[in-house]
Amino acid sequence: MRKTILDLQEMAQKGEKIAMLTCYDSSFARLLEEQGVDALLIGDSLGMVVQGHDSPIPVALEDIVYHTECVYRGSRSAFILADMPFGTTGVNPEDTFKNAVQLIQAGAQMVKIEGGAMMCETIEFLVARGIPVCAHIGLTPQSVNQLGGFKVQGRAVGQAQQLLRSAKMLEQAGASLLLIEAVPQLLADQLCEQVSIPTIGIGASAKCSGQVLVIYDMLGLGGYIPPRFVKAFIKETGSIAEAVKLYVKEVKSSLFPADEHCYK
């Protein structure tokens, strides 16, 4: 039986860490859930690691729909969430809903939306119409041009306070998960305390309810200098299956991320 958002929330309440990885095809979907991965994210990161772009901005909604269908067909038990790519959410809530519907119909159980408090109206609109939402704050890769690159967010006091306010507002708007990317460890801890919904970290803190990495990164196949929060688990194991199993083990036991994978 496939995990639901209620299962993830129950895991978080019990203190069991959620192990999430990105996934883009049926073969990896099957392998990842066989090794105990709880949730599969069809991320717009596919623009960089699959399509060869410099950022996720060129990824189209049709791309995410296609890869979501592949992951859905290859999995049986893992929770599935899909990114809403650049340009599909910064519109009116009605059009965002139409875009999100395509991902749900493709097999996603939740959509992930980048952005802070400005996305609250849209999230309320989607949730009221039966579409669960994972909010994504901190480093939001779709805003790479505005941010001036893939940089840690929240080091300035004002920016940190804004992220804390946004987190609470996004929860109140109806977000069921909060993904926190590339923020200082202390701020990540505060964000986890700020909300009651499960938090998923990537370059955040081991105190998050769970962790996510790009599958190609944790297998050492990123093709670029990996960010601080990446650990190439395959270097310790020698096989893809064992690398995924080790990732799940270290996430569940709070060994990953270690301090060396977090920002100060």
Specify whether 181 is catalytic: yes
pLDDT at 146 over 80: no
- How much is the mean pLDDT over the chain? 95
Q: What is the pLDDT of residue 151?
A: 78
The percent of residues above 70 in pLDDT, for the chain, comes to 98
Measuring CA to CA, which residue among 184, 257, 247, 261 is closest to residue 20?
247
**Count of domains observed in the chain:** 1
Residue 207 half-sphere exposure toward CB, CA atoms < 13 A:
12
Query: Global pTM?
Result: 0.96
Measuring CA to CA, which residue among 132, 104, 102 is closest to residue 8?
132
Q: Find out whether the peptide bond into 58 is cis, omega within 30 degrees of 0.
A: no
Q: What is the pLDDT of residue 42?
A: 98
Q: One-letter amino acid identity for 155?
A: R
Judging by DSSP bridges, how do beta strands 177-181 and 133-138 pair with one another? parallel
User: pLDDT digits over 46-103, tens only?
Assistant: 999 999 999 999 999 999 999 999 999 999 999 999 999 999 997 899 999 999 999 9
Average pLDDT over residues 217-228: 86
CATH value at residue 55: 3.20.20.60
pLDDT at 34 over 90: yes
Cross-strand partners of 79: 39
Q: What is the pLDDT of residue 62?
A: 98
Cα 192 to Cα 207: distance, rounded to the nearest angstrom = 7
Q: What is the pLDDT of residue 73?
A: 98
Q: What is the pLDDT of residue 145?
A: 66
Q: How confident is the model at residue 149 (pLDDT cuts 50, 70, 90)?
A: low
Q: What is the pLDDT of residue 174?
A: 98
Q: One-letter amino acid identity for 84?
A: M
H/E stretch holding 177 reads strand 177-181
Is residue 96 left, alpha or beta, with left meaning phi > 0 and alpha meaning psi from -120 to 50?
A: alpha
Average pLDDT over residues 125-154: 86
Q: What is the pLDDT of residue 172?
A: 98
Please list, residue by residue across 67-99, b when 16 or more beta carbons sit within 10 angstroms of its beta carbon and e when fewer do.
bbbbbbebbeebbbbbbbbbebbbeebeebbeb
> For residue 246, how many other CB atoms are within 10 A of its CB?
19
Judging by DSSP bridges, how do beta strands 79-83 and 177-181 pair with one another? unpaired
Selected catalytic residue, list 33, 171, 181, 250: 181
What residues make up the domain containing 27? 5-261
Q: Strand, helix or coil at 5?
A: helix
Q: What is the pLDDT of residue 226?
A: 84
